[in-house]
Amino acid sequence: MKVYVIGIGLIGGSMALDIKSLQPEATIFGIDADESHLAQAIALGVVEAAATFEDLGDADFVIVSVPVDVALIILPKVLDSIGEQTVVFEVGSTKMPICEAVVNHAKRRNFIATHPIAGTEFSGPSAAITGLFQGKTNIICEVEKTTFKLQEKALDLFKQMGMRIRYMDPKSHDKHIAYVSHLSHISAFMLGKTVIQKEKHEQDIFDMAGSGFESTVRLAKSSPAMWTPIFKQNRKQVVKTLEEYISNLTHFKDLLVNEDYDAIFEEMESVNRIKEILNGMISQIPNKESIRK
Amino acid sequence: MKVYVIGIGLIGGSMALDIKSLQPEATIFGIDADESHLAQAIALGVVEAAATFEDLGDADFVIVSVPVDVALIILPKVLDSIGEQTVVFEVGSTKMPICEAVVNHAKRRNFIATHPIAGTEFSGPSAAITGLFQGKTNIICEVEKTTFKLQEKALDLFKQMGMRIRYMDPKSHDKHIAYVSHLSHISAFMLGKTVIQKEKHEQDIFDMAGSGFESTVRLAKSSPAMWTPIFKQNRKQVVKTLEEYISNLTHFKDLLVNEDYDAIFEEMESVNRIKEILNGMISQIPNKESIRK
């Protein structure tokens, strides 16, 4: 089996490691615009050799795991280059623009639009880890537009990686993911900014930070190159979630200004049921020890 | 050695477990307004026996680990009840009000104002874990107001628990802790609220939540009974941090509305240095396996 990973970072690299571990006879090739990334991925054993788009004709799988703006540009070119039996999938955090970009492509039926809900705050080939997708959800959009046999081939791979599959239309995906992923990232980035602004004048403040701050701000370590195009492509939904979040924060602040402590208690108590909601999720905190430095 | 823990939850209970583990000859007594908490703490072996304020005369240590509004009321009564050599410390997340509450007490010199920066999002006796304070910072306020010999006795205990000590005036403590702790909690609570509001109409949304959301919203599991009085006591500082946070979020939203993606990239890139700042912190994520259910 020949697998080509285009963009060998956290997601593409972790998929490469899983596939090699599940199917040792597979050969994993890497394609990356950043030659130092590619060299690092080969040196780390994440992929075996470098390749180019010209090699894609005999690919079994092509995994497109690049920033979502780059995906819009290269995915049609990838589909131009593949063979009849090649499955191409893309793993970005927005699904409407990518589905629109290939809707009329002659090889649309070789493509499957996915969003594996998995990751860490790290990026680049060194962030790749084995088992990242175990127990995670993979959202597949417009599955009916993919040839049935190639659907099966892709689903078999995802299931081997331990993912459970959920089908959704691209519009619903982009709307909901704004709440449970994109908003969390902005919340963390702006929390980090607020505290760093303060720290300019008070160097010692971070000595006082505990595990609570570390957890809440964790996503502020994420890659701007990855996240700027996500926010761009999902701009309307993200703006809406931000408006709702800012409104809720302003309401809480007003309760505090007005010293309405009963209402403050009730606000927090009503959100406490997030416990049960999160308990319903499969535990998805990555194992720190398994993250390669 | 006799130790009395008043309020046997996450912090008081974890201290009890550490002391018993470090000094097996110590007897740990529990005092708790909630009789079921006390019974549970004894059943779990967190404390050995129930006690009352009348027993405090022969205490070596009294640990006051109750919500900060309750601490204001009971601390003077505790000081009224103790012996000459008893050390009393309180562990809440605000320090100005507690220091003011006992400033003129005849036994002020038996009291040491502390804030161990440690915890999890869980509460109650079952949340108590051994080793919670290992490698954590303990902030001590107005140390000069505590008798030197009793300071030494307390510091020795804190160091045995593995804490590093930092001295700070109560005003600075309350100001800085608003940024690195109190704001994180509100940020998480309101993130949870925003997503739950949406989920009312979209039951499936949490299936899409990954480890990023889980991490960012974790503190929204925290106890409203503990946090409402903290926000009350540190109201002015917390309102200020919320204003700054809301202003930063609004600015980010405006950049997105105006499609200024270069500025959005730079916003995130400038916050990325939180990586180095957090790397400078001693790793403080509690070990999930060590949390008793």
Q: Is B276 on the interface with A (CB under 8 A)?
A: no
**Residue A94: what residue type?**
T
Cα A59 to chain centroid, rounded: 24
The span from the CA of B111 to the CA of B154, in Å, is 10
pLDDT bin (cut points 50, 70, 90) of residue A58 is very high
Quote the pLDDT of residue A211.
87
Interface of B with A in 134-153 (CB under 8 A): 136-137, 139
The residue among A281 and A216 whose pLDDT is bigger is A216
Mutate which of B94, B126, B190, B254 to disrupt the A interface (most A C-beta within 10 Å)? B190
Please name which of B13, B11, B88, B6 lies closest in space to residue B51, comparing C-alpha atoms. Answer: B6
- The mean pLDDT value for A124-129 works out to 95
Bridge partner residues of B111 (DSSP) = B88
CATH number attached to the domain at A173-279:
1.10.3660.10
Give the CA distances from residue A13 to residues A19, A64, A129, A133, A284, in Å, rounded to whole numbers and listed in that order: 10, 11, 7, 12, 18
- Beta strands B137-141 and B111-116 are antiparallel
The span from the CA of A247 to the CA of A245, in Å, is 5
The span from the CA of B191 to the CA of B189, in Å, is 6
Identify the closest residue of chain A to B140 by CA–CA distance: A208
Asked if A183 and B194 touch (Cβ cutoff 8 Å), the reply is yes
Please name which of A16, A73, A69 lies closest in space to residue A40, comparing C-alpha atoms. Answer: A16
- The mean pLDDT value for A136-146 works out to 97
What would the two tokens of residue B280 be?
């400078």
Asked if A264 and B212 touch (Cβ cutoff 8 Å), the reply is no
Contact A119 B210 (CB under 8 A): yes
Using CB atoms, which residue from B195, B199, B269 is nearest to A224?
A: B269
Using CB atoms, which residue from A214, A256, A285 is nearest to B214?
A: A285
Interface of A with B in 12-31 (CB under 8 A): none
Give the torsion sign (CA, B239, B241, B242, B247): positive
Q: Is B290 on the interface with A (CB under 8 A)?
A: no
Using the predicted structure, report yes or no on whether residue A284 has a pLDDT greater than 80: no
Identify the closest residue of chain B to A236 by CA–CA distance: B257
| ipTM reported for the complex, 2 dp | 0.91
Q: Is A263 on the interface with B (CB under 8 A)?
A: no
The span from the CA of A121 to the CA of B275, in Å, is 10
Cα A199 to chain centroid, rounded: 30
Asked if B8 and B35 touch (Cβ cutoff 8 Å), the reply is no
What would the two tokens of residue B94 be?
């605000």
Using CB atoms, which residue from A221, A244, A271 is nearest to B192?
A: A271
* Number of other CB atoms surrounding residue B147 within 10 Å: 17
Residues 6+ apart with CB under 8 A from B103: none
List chain A residues with CB under 8 Å of B289.
none
What would the two tokens of residue B72 be?
């204001």
How far A15 CA sits from the closest chain B CA (Å)?
17
Asked if B142 and B112 touch (Cβ cutoff 8 Å), the reply is no
Using CB atoms, which residue from A212, A268, A270 is nearest to B184?
A: A212
Contact B215 A216 (CB under 8 A): yes
pLDDT digits (tens, 9 = 90+) for A101-119: 999 999 999 999 999 999 8
Q: Left if phi > 0, otherwise alpha if psi is -120 to 50, otherwise beta: which for B205?
A: alpha
Please name which of B10, B247, B281 lies closest in space to residue B119, comparing C-alpha atoms. Answer: B10
Give the torsion sign (CA, A5, A10, A16, A19): negative
What would the two tokens of residue A254 be?
């007003």
Between chain A and chain B, the number of residue pairs with CB atoms below 8 A apart is 308
Q: Is A201 on the interface with B (CB under 8 A)?
A: no
Identify the closest residue of chain A to B192 by CA–CA distance: A271
List chain A residues with CB under 8 Å of B220.
268, 271-272, 274
A27: burial class by Cβ within 10 Å (0-12, 13-18, 19+)?
middle
**Residue B189: what residue type?**
F
Give the CA distances from residue B54 to residues A163, B50, B81, B82, B110, in Å, rounded to whole numbers and listed in that order: 59, 12, 7, 9, 17
Where in the sequence of chain A do the CATH 3.40.50.720 domains occur?
2-169
Quote the pLDDT of residue A198.
84
Q: Buried b vs exposed e over B54-93: b needs ≥16 C-beta within 10 Å?
A: eebeebbbbbbbbbbbbbbebbeebbebbeeebbbbbbbb
List chain A residues with CB under 8 Å of B244.
194, 197-198
Tens place of pLDDT for every residue, chain B, 293 residues? Answer: 999 999 999 999 999 999 999 999 999 999 999 999 999 999 999 999 999 999 999 999 999 999 999 999 999 999 999 999 999 999 999 999 999 999 999 999 999 999 999 988 888 999 999 999 999 999 999 999 999 999 999 999 999 999 999 999 999 999 999 999 999 999 999 999 999 998 766 556 777 888 899 999 999 999 999 999 999 999 999 999 999 999 999 999 999 999 999 999 999 999 998 888 877 654 444 433 333 33
Where in the sequence of chain A do the CATH 1.10.3660.10 domains occur?
173-279
Residues 6+ apart with CB under 8 A from A68: A92, A93, A94, A97, A98, A229, A230, A233
Identify the closest residue of chain A to B173 by CA–CA distance: A208
Q: Which residue's structure tokens are 């912190």?
A: B281
Cα B92 to chain centroid, rounded: 6
Strand order in the sheet with B61-64: B49-50, B27-31, B2-6, B61-64, B87-90, B111-116, B137-141, B164-168
- Beta strands B137-141 and B61-64 are unpaired
Using the predicted structure, report yes or no on whether residue A264 has a pLDDT greater than 70: yes
Contact A284 B188 (CB under 8 A): no
Using the predicted structure, report yes or no on whether residue A14 has a pLDDT greater than 60: yes
Asked if B174 and B239 touch (Cβ cutoff 8 Å), the reply is no
Mutate which of A121, A203, A274, A279 to disrupt the B interface (most B C-beta within 10 Å)? A274
The secondary structure of A130-176, three-state, reads: CCCCCCCEEEEECHHHCCHHHHHHHHHHHHHCCCEEEEECHHHHHHH
Contact A184 B277 (CB under 8 A): no
Identify the closest residue of chain B to A235 by CA–CA distance: B256
Give the CA distances from residue A212 to residues A266, B117, B283, in Å, rounded to whole numbers and listed in that order: 21, 9, 12
pLDDT digits (tens, 9 = 90+) for A240-255: 999 999 999 999 999 9
What would the two tokens of residue A123 be?
């990026």
Using the predicted structure, report yes or no on whether residue A64 has a pLDDT greater than 80: yes
Contact A207 B137 (CB under 8 A): yes
List chain B residues with CB under 8 Å of A117.
208-210
Asked if A45 and A30 touch (Cβ cutoff 8 Å), the reply is no
Contact A180 B225 (CB under 8 A): no
The span from the CA of B176 to the CA of B229, in Å, is 17
Contact B278 A221 (CB under 8 A): yes
The span from the CA of B220 to the CA of A238, in Å, is 21
Please, what is the end-to-end C-alpha distance for chain B in angstroms? 29
Q: Buried b vs exposed e over A263-288: b needs ≥16 C-beta within 10 Å?
A: bbbebbeebbebeebbeebeebebee
Q: Is B77 on the interface with A (CB under 8 A)?
A: no
Contact A139 B246 (CB under 8 A): no
Q: Which residue's structure tokens are 């562990």?
A: B91
| CA atoms within a 13 Å half-sphere pointing along the CA-CB vector of A86 | 24
Please, what is the end-to-end C-alpha distance for chain A in angstroms? 29
How far B126 CA sits from the closest chain A CA (Å)?
16
How far A126 CA sits from the closest chain B CA (Å)?
16
Asked if A10 and A127 touch (Cβ cutoff 8 Å), the reply is yes
The correct CATH number of A2-169 out of 3.30.470.10, 3.10.20.30, 3.40.50.150, 3.40.50.720 is: 3.40.50.720
